[in-house]
Structure 1
Amino acid sequence: MEFDQKPAIDYWEHRWANNQAAWDFGKTQIALIQLFEENKFQFPTKANVLVPGCGSGYDAIYFSQLGYDTTGLDFSASANQKAKELAANSQTGPGQLQFVQADFYNFPAPSSLYQIAYDYTFLSTVRPEDRIKWGSRYADLISPGGFLITLIFPIDFGNEDGPPFKLNKEMCHQVLDPNFDLVYQDLNPNKEPPRTSASVMAIWKRK
């Protein structure tokens, strides 16, 4: 199934339903874990967290383990089911955790906006012409003073027709600078096999 020949929701559901999620690392990235456990940046101790394109749910579960009330979002029914099954067999909390099957661009924003959002590999699925929309949507969902954590990947490879689309920090500046300030960056965060390609950890504060 070619990405450009089917609506995105059908493409991703097909991949998840047929166990073709080769991008699924199987655990939370070491760069995210060290960001919090080594206190590389001062985040609020209590916050609502959003993880769009959460897939199997590893990262959303990790945020709940840190004590954050967390929403894992994916519009694939199969991914949503996998995430719920993983959560049922994992140690979650003390933060509340929910997995929602919905479109990032259309799901209702909560009355209390998110204080933290985490984007890893989700941006690499967004067509270049839709990146402004991606950045604007985060601005709609994150409260002023809140943070968008981006683990920017892939940087040293990608497909013109995607996914994944090749990314870089300058592109993120173009789409996020209207509503966010860059407040932290690590140009060489730690990696572990099998995913050892270049990435950048960047944190953006909602204006």
Structure 2
Amino acid sequence: MSGAPDPVEAYEDAPEHMVEVQALLNLARAHSDTPLPQLREWVLRNGALSDRTALRDPGDSADVLGAEFVADTGERVIRNAVRAGYELMELDRRDGTGLGPLGPDAADWDGEGGTLGYLRQEYQTWRTAQLHDMRAVGKAMHATTAVADDSTLAWQAASRGEPWSRERLLDLARRKVAAYRGAVDYGLDADCVAGQHRAEKELRELEAADGDPVA
């Protein structure tokens, strides 16, 4: 696997685990009409998260959960990562969607560990491109700043006895949800997960009277 990046290099810029889990949940919800094994980003990010999880030191978890449980869980996580690497190769062969320097049919991926090597190459290439899209990253950062500023204005108005209208608060809540989901996708801050959950709770409460579910 001469072409495979080192795992440390491949996942150097990956978001924290809890952020990536939430990003995957958001992705699945946004593409609820698409079978997840056919969604390249899902296969890539889910597989990479499994690979990253398998690479973590299991020592601390073993002390709490028991070595046998941790070992069994570790094996399942590794199998999931390997399977995701294979599925990614199949998708890229079919659709020509590979991003890295070596395609899915390269000899470098032959033999044991080849699918994981391909998965790591593709994740590193994808994540680097995502973070280097400065316009999109900047837009995501600006969105969270904007809703935070508007939240402060809404609180100040309420404290003066001049609360915003329900429609205006609904608009703000929806923008909060969208902004924090975007921040989660880019892994900008671990706090964005809590921010998304708060925004969704606020939106549910505001929409409860009309019975409109959170999109």
TM over 0.5: no
The TM-score with structure 2 as length reference comes to 0.28
Q: Which structure has greater helix proportion?
A: 2
Higher relative contact order (CA 8 A, sep 6+): 2
Higher relative strand content: 1
**Structure exhibiting the larger radius of gyration computed from Cα positions:** 2
